[in-house]
Structure 1
Amino acid sequence: MASKVVKRAYRYRFYPTEEQRDQLARTFGCVRYVYNRALAERSRAWSQEQRRVTHAETDKMLTQWKREQDTVWLTEPSKGPLQATLRNLQGAFDKFWRKQGGYPNFKKKGRSRDSATYFANCFSFRDGQVKLAKQAEALDIRWSRPLPEGAQPSQVTVSRDAAGRYHISILVEEAVTEHEPTGATVGVDVGITSLCTLSTGEKIRNPRYERRDRERLAKAQRRLARTQKGSNNRAKMRVKVAKVYARIADRRRDHLHKLSTRLVRENQVVAIEDLSVRNMVRNHNLARAIADASWAQLRSMIEYKADWRGREVVAIDRFYPSSKTCSACGHIVDILPLSVREWICPCGAVHDRDVNAAKNIQALGLSVLACGDGVRPPRA
């Protein structure tokens, strides 16, 4: 089978010593400061001078900031994470200019995930141990799975989440073998009651991890609300709330990985809907359930795994009336409320709403694959 070389990140949990924890905290703080100050400078230049500040200019600013008396502490951490955060800021602006994301936001201390990226010249990897620049000891990593044999990391990213857990993401180049070709194709209709329904008629249940832990989360949030702002008890309770969220996210991610791997392994072509999740969560009645289902994350996993394994993913037009179109004769009903889960077509076909939609998604996906992206379905 053919294989291709891809860049792949392996993520592990690690437990820093007290000295490493302090050094990483200072590094995270410097990274956050450099990012926010560079963002402020770029915003000021645009608002006052209508001028775009380049990445090279922010790199020169960083050199100057290290020489200033008030910010000489920027020389304490390794230079790699500070340069990497400027690259990340440039990437955020590139996405904003291409209208692929919003305007970059300032980083807030203690409210989000802290991270620092080290390039190849800022860490060492020997005998299965990772040692960061300006640290005396190697990190105590829990190697839950081995790295590819002979792998040489090109960069590592260490992070601390709101729950106080430390992780390291190791980026390596790896040869990935494509799956054996198969004639199977599948249409995937995502939903809330069932996470997704396949054109084969199979329905994948939605675990609803957030709803299952909602009582535990609500209890932790009530205890947090009763604490005094700025107190140690409030800081402790904030970590407990974050741990509940982390448990939900970890279980959801594990389920989506298993599902996406299975879909890519079993099918040569996977047809999905091009949903605008950002607009859908504006429905306050369904926003919580939609966020818990995490359709966008599932699609992302399917797409990059299919690219690795030699499969095809087709996203059909989001306005295609997949639920209202009869998969047997093509008749489109005028009105089909969400409460209607089964309907009968004038041709006599009896349809399960979700299975019918998945079959239509599969058929249209194959048409788009055969005829090109210029094909657009009729709109209801």
Structure 2
Amino acid sequence: ARFYDNCKRKIPGKKAYPRFKKNCRSVEYKQTGWQLNLESRKAITFTDKKGIGRLRLVGSYDLHFYQPEQIKRVRLVRRADGYYCQFLISVDVQIKTEPTNKTIGLDVGLSAFYTDDQGNKVDNPKFLRTGEKKIKRLQRQLSRKQKGSSNRKKARQKLAKAHLKISRQRKEFC
């Protein structure tokens, strides 16, 4: 805002253009702006003016199970290994559970991920520590590449995939 105000007032001096964020990795649509292919449900067309167009959906989840009215939001997310289309679906899930009237004690620690009151221990897998050697090597390779080169882009992509794999391992374990 300060930059544009100074331009309007014609204030002399060194002006730096604003740096806009370049880390926009997702686009979210609510009820409009997209249309699911009704015959196969394996393609989605984005009808807004962003110019994304028609995308083919690859995956094992079956969208035939849900009605198009149940899909409340569609999100395109960019990860290191490609783009993902996430669907937010409105479904009423009712799970009947009966209390067992049993209590257990859990101790979360550093040496073991957790220990229960029976003495069972689950070891801490330390995915980051095990993948540290690979990440260290990939970071060295990246730092040796010349900035702006295509080899640097490839090295950056490899490093991003390694970080993504570790983050997914950590989420999966929990």
Tell me the TM-score normalised to structure 1 length: 0.36
> CA 1:164/1:150 → structure 2, altered by over 3 Å: closer, same or farther?
closer
- Number of residue pairs aligned between Structure 1 and Structure 2: 149
> CA 1:241/1:200 → structure 2, altered by over 3 Å: closer, same or farther?
same
**Aligned: 1:117 with 2:28:** yes
Partner of 1:154: 72
Partner of 1:219: 137
**In 2: Cα distance, 1:241 partner to 1:248 partner:** 11
SS at match of 2:104: strand
Q: 1:206 aligns with which of 120, 124, 129?
A: 124
**Aligned: 1:141 with 2:50:** no
Partner of 1:230: 148
CA drift of 1:245 comes to 0.5
Partner of 1:374: none
**In 1: Cα distance, 2:81 partner to 2:24 partner:** 9
Instruction: Name the Cα RMSD after superposition.
Output: 2.5
Q: 2:83 aligns with which of 138, 147, 166?
A: 166
SS at match of 2:107: strand
Q: What stretches of structure 2 of length at least 5 have no aligned partner?
A: 3-18
**In 1: Cα distance, 2:81 partner to 2:61 partner:** 22
More strand by share: 2
Q: Which has the higher contact order (CA 8 A, sep 6+)?
A: 1
**Aligned: 1:178 with 2:95:** yes
Partner of 1:189: 107
1:26-60 Cα distance to aligned partner (Å, 9 max, x none): xxxxxxxxxxxxxxx5xx6xxxxxxxxxxxxxxxx
Task: Give, as a single letter, the amino acid of the residue that structure 2 aligns with 1:121.
Answer: T
What percentage of aligned pairs have identical amino acids? Answer: 30
Please say if residues 113 and 159 of structure 1, whose CA atoms lie closer than 8 Å, have aligned partners that are also in contact. no
Task: Give, as a single letter, the amino acid of the residue that structure 2 aligns with 1:119.
Answer: K
